[in-house]
């Protein structure tokens, strides 16, 4: 049972990392407008703290730093 619970956390984390990579790629292309509320939700899921008044660019930058620091970018 414990292994199943732990696997669920790993899966969620992998899904969040993939969503983060896609968000950063979309922001780099510049073609897609970054949804600020979704970016903040993703940052929270990854454990990234961002200011309440942070812009979408600042949130994406924080996510990019997180991915770079963890070797996921």
Which residues lie below 8 Å from residue 19, measured CB to CB, with a gap of 6+?
42
pLDDT for 62: 96
What does each C-alpha distance from 32 to 27, 49, 56 come to in angstroms? Answer: 7, 24, 12
- Digit-coded pLDDT (tens) for 4-17: 766 666 666 889 99
pLDDT for 11: 67
pLDDT higher than 70, residue 32: no
Backbone angles phi, psi at 31, to 5 degrees: -75, -30
pTM of full prediction above 0.75:
yes
12-30: average pLDDT? 89
- Digit-coded pLDDT (tens) for 35-59: 999 999 999 999 999 999 999 999 9
């Amino acid at each position: 049972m414990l292994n199943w619970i732990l696997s669920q956390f790993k899966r969620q984390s992998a899904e969040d990392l993939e969503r983060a990579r896609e968000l950063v790629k979309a922001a780099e292309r510049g073609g897609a407008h970054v949804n600020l509320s979704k970016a903040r939700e993703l940052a929270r899921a990854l454990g990234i703290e961002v200011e309440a008044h942070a812009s979408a660019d600042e949130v994406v930058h924080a996510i990019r730093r997180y991915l770079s620091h963890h070797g996921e970018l």
